Structures are given as structure tokens and as C-alpha cells.
Structure 1
Amino acid sequence: MTKDKDFEIFLATVPGLESVLCAEVRLKGFRQPVAVPGGVVIRGGWPEVWRANLWVRGTSRVLARIASFAVVHLSQLDKRAHKVPWQAILRPDVAFRVEASCAASRVYHAGAAAERVSKAITQTLGATPADDAPVVIKVRIEQNICTISVDTSGDLLHRRGYKQAINRAPLRETMAALFLRQCGYNGQEPVLDPMCGSGTFVIEAAEIAARLNPGRARHFAFEHLATFDAQAWQAMRAVKSQRTPDFHFYGSDRDAGAIIMSTANAERAGVQDYVSFQQATVSALRPPAGPAGLVIANPPYGTRIGDKESLIPLYRALGQTLLTHFSGWRVGIVTTEAKLAHVTGLPFLPPEAPVPHGGLRVSLYQTAPLP
């Protein structure tokens, strides 16, 4: 794969949001992105791998696909794994870990498959396997085709590096970025979150408007690979695209602790000059001065029996406040419950298909500009 510098790169996302991620990847200038189940495939070389980790907001992980071959028994896997040019990709002084999955294949024992690939790496390269290794090799055997990839991200990419304080069941930054995109947000309007929690929607919106790279404050697994060029990477990171946004971004929450959290997270992200957080109830919400924009919220869902009924007044108050005071603003609400969404009385467009989030399935309900 090092001779052929053009290989397949897989950008993972939440099932159901593949087309939204594909639109972002295309906008960021990557060649021929294709939405596939669970993510987006592009082609490129190692610079594209680095750029995807640094630039793309909606992906949770970037995998470099380094080998693919048919396999119907473990001895065949063993033989073909030994032929992968590990020395061109991995470093002998860096520990690795192999994770395998099998589906609808003659090779069905994931543990045995992982063991064979791990042994092949050790025997051909001399690297040591370890449970806490910084480099993870992903082996997927499906329909008797084995695909071997390197996880180039390491920690999941929603860990931007600034959010030390979080509330219960926070929305991941990657998902928040995709929901903002689904609402048509492109950085050219104000955004307000009336139940801001730890500030995820507000900070993501401010970063998009300020053209800040989501991966600017963290490290990646690809820095441990033989293919890594520290000088080229520093040059890539040094390109400054930042600008001062034309708009401001607002968060409110009835919980004082959430405001403290959001403010601290915004400061760590470097967007404190573009955001404002204040303690306020939903009923006290009023639009800021200036043009209309987007109100987006991830309200409580009520996962226990009885909770949903107790949330009806909150959703109703949110809808009444927005309908009364936010003429011209669009609204996006993320929730598990169609009933709670419709209690708002807001004129929702047909909802997007539900997507998994924290063991639940959530849908984005959004409106056109309110009358």
C-alpha cells in the first residue's frame, strides 16, 4: 500500500447519518466520498488520513484500509496476514493491539482471527502486542472477505480536547456537528441552545463559524505509525484558517452548574469571545438582538416510566416561548419521543429517521423559519 499511495479510507459515523457526513466530507474537499453503511469511504494517501482526523467534524474514527483478501479458514488467514507489508506501516518499537469481528463467514471465531493476525505482526515486524497499545489493528471478516485496517484516530474523535466538564448523557460533539449540518447551519447565522448542558451545540457552532479545526488540540494514533512525517504534519497543522465569526452564539440553562461548565469548556476551546451563557428558564427565553438564526436543543427525554409525562410541561413551555417570541428563527429539537416533540406545538417538517445515541434512538425534529 505504500507503493500505491492511493488507498481506501473509512470515516465512521452513527448509522443513519452517513449522508450528512458525506456532504461534510465533500465540502471539505476530499475526493469522491461515498456514503456506505456506518460511514463514508474516500480514497487518498496518508496526508488525507491526517487531514480527515484534523478537519472532519462528523466522523468518530478514521480507518486506513491496508489489506483485503478472501479467507475461508484460519491457516489461510495466517498465511495472508504474514504477507501484509507491516514494516511499511507499523513501527517495531510501538506496541499494537488487534481487534477482530466475524460475520457470515467460514472463519467465525473472532478471538482466533485476532490471535493469528497478532502473531503475524510479531513474527514479521517484531512489535509487541499489548492491551493498552496506542495502535489498534481492526480485522473484519464478512462474507469470507477479510479487511484489515489501522485505526488512525486513537481516542474517538468527539474528544476534541477541550471538554473536561460534562453533564449526564451528553451529546457527542461529532453528532452535534452533524445535527447542526442537518438543520442547514453553515456558520453564517446565530445559534441559540436553551438547554445547553455542557455547551456542546453552542461551542460546535462557534467553532464552525470561526473555522477552527476540530482536531487542533489533540493527538492521534497515526503519530505512532511508520508512515508518520512529523514535519509534514506540523506544516499541515500550522495552516491558519481561523476567522472572527460575523455572529454570536448563545446558551442558557436553568442549572447554574451547566453555565459554569459551558463557560469553562468554551474558554478551553478558545471561542469564549463569540459565545454567551446565562442561567435562565425556558419560559424566560428571548431572542438576542440581530438577525434570526437557529434554535437547537437536546432536551431531557425521560428514559424511565413516568418521566415522559413529567416532561410535557417543559416541552410545551419551550414551544410556546419559541412560537411567541422567535418569529423567523428555525428550530431543531433532538428527542427520543415523537409525543414530546409534538407537545411543543411547533410546525415540524417530516422528521429524520431515528439514529442511535447512548443506548436510545433519537430523531431530529426541525422547522422552517417560524411565522
Structure 2
Amino acid sequence: MLSKRATQVGPSATLQITATAKRMVKEGKDVVAFGAGEPDFDTPDVVKSAAVAAIQSGFTKYTPTSGIPELKEAIVRKLKNDNGLDYEAGAVVVSCGAKHSLYNIFQVIVDAGDEVLIPVPYWVSYPEMVKLAGGKPVFIQTNLKEDFKITPEKLRSCVSKKTKALVLNSPSNPCGVVYRRQELSAIADFCTENNIYCISDEIYEKIIFDGIEHVSIASLSEKIKKLTVTVNGFSKSYSMTGWRLGYCVAESGIAKAISNIQDHSTSNPTSFVQKAALAAFSLGPAFFDDARRKFQERRDYIVSRLDKMNTVLSYKKPEGAFYIFVNIKKTGMDSFAFAKRLLEEKYVALIPGGPFGCNDYVRISFATSMEKIKTGLDRIEEWVNQL
């Protein structure tokens, strides 16, 4: 018999849709895939070359569980320069992707019965990770009119004596929300007043549009810094999704506990991938500017097309990441029916919003070429007009 924890966790909807779309492509169907949560750009050559050089030099053995010292020092410099965060290398734990970092964090700070506040919509894995740690996800409802943002008032309505942590994702998946400094300051005050951990997922920090500033909540005060675990990685910013490397940074007690858990699960992240990540830090601002410009062009095009369909579809213009969260309520379908029919009838794959906590929405990823975006939106517009 399976364990209770195994039966309580469902598969990832995003990975399922992506796998189905790939299968249809192999069958010869002309599928336009708007599902993937990964950049369509290739991994930079300097990163690939560093990995090859590491392999050829024999850097293929075990490393320290929490990462090689030179990579951790590079992360410390990055946090200082980009995020205004001062940490020692011992506060950094490098793991097998930011998802792995998040899993470790919940295992370390959540006990059975502890509650974790999760704003809706949310990335699909947050609630499942909380449940795997024995905790209870408590959802904070937001809506389109509120720009999908939480406030101290909303937090106060959900907090209890069992509340252990808040999950914050800015820029966010699935709706591209970016919290401003003043908004984060109010959330930080709430966390410090209630002694609640803040798990700040900043994996999309380099993909922000319209000149909006990225702010790490831990940089706002020493009080909130002690309560914050900041999560980041190389998948989204450096187009290294398959390389599986992420990291978190926290006060020393939490970092040590995470390293101990990793000792008995994966041990170290892949040795030569760590060398590749070290090379990624050599890429300058121009690399990120170019990727951001391309993503913003795609976002602007999608928005312009959706505006022509706005009698049926509505949305919040994303300020970061590479997704747009579209309200489909006027079609009369829920997100699963909408996604299923669109894939079967028009060969367009997108992600239903149900697993994100919003069954009246679907997620469109614009991490694909402009040519495919144009083709896909032509099909969506034709299909929606026929409904």
C-alpha cells in the first residue's frame, strides 16, 4: 500500500500538458505549445563550454553537499550586487534546482499541522510541497481587480496561531505580478510582527518589464532578513532548466538544517553543473537585457491580440516572468474543458488555471518564438469567435 503522503499529492498539470503536446508533435500534429515554463533560448555557450571543460578535467566526483566554495562565494557576491543582501557563504545552500531548494525549505521549517499562507493564484507545486512536509496550505484569495496581490489586511484575515510561513513569489508564476518596495515593506512588517517566516521565490527576478524594480524582501530590514529564506536559481535567467541547479540563502540555523537534509537525500548537486553555473555569472547585463527585450516584445504582441478578443477574454498585463493569465469565464467553460478542447480542436496547448487555484483562468506561456505565438493566437482567436 502507498503512504498517505504519496496519495495526497497529484501530478504536475504543467508537466502533463507539456508531455501531451510533445507526444502529439511526435505523432505528426502541428501543435503550438504555450505550456512550457522554460525559455526557448539555448543555454549560453560560455556555460556549456565550462561544463565540458569540467568533465574533461575530471571534475566529476562528489563535492560538498551545499555546493563548491567558489560557487557559493559567487552567489554571495551576486546577492550583494543585485539584491542588496549581505550573507556569508555558509548561509548559501546550492541544490538540484530552485524546486529542490523549496522542497528542502518546507521540510526544514514545517511541522505536522503547521499552516503556510499561499496567495492565489500560486505555482502548482507550493501546496503539494507543504502537504509533503505535513503542513496545511492556507490560501489567500486575490482577484484580477486587485492585481492578484496580497495585502496586510488579507494576511490578517488568514493568520492563526498555527501559521508558520508565507510564500511570496515576485515576479510571479502564473500571472507575472511584481510587488513594489512599499508593498513588500508592509508585508515584511506583518511577518515580523507575527514572527512568520517569508519564503521568497525570486526565480524570475531577471525577467521584469517596463523598467520596474525588483526588490528582495529580505533587503528591507535586519528583522525581515532573519525570517526570510530567499530562493533563486539558474533555470529561468540563464536558460538552464534541464541543468537542475538552484540555491537558497537564509540565516545560519536554517541553512545548516537544509544542508543536513540534503546530506541524506541527494547529497551535492551535479559537480560539473556547478562549474557551469559559476561561468554563468560571467555574463553581463547585456545578456539579460536582450532576453528581457525579446520577452517584452512577445508580451506586448499577445496583449494587443487579446485586446481584440476582450469581449470574451480578460487578463492582467504581466509585469514579469513569461506568462499571461487569461480569464475565460465568459466562454462558459472551466479551465480544464477550455484547455482540452483547444488542444483537440485547434492543436494549441496551454495550461488550465485550476491547478493554480483559479479554474476560470488559463496560463499562456510566451517562452516560445514570435512565429509560433502569432500562429497560436490566430487559432485561439478563430476558435473563440466560433464559440
TM-score, with structure 2 as normaliser: 0.26
Higher relative contact order, structure no. (Cα contacts within 8 Å, ≥ 6 residues apart): 2
TM-score computed with the length of structure 1 as normaliser: 0.27
More helix by share: 2
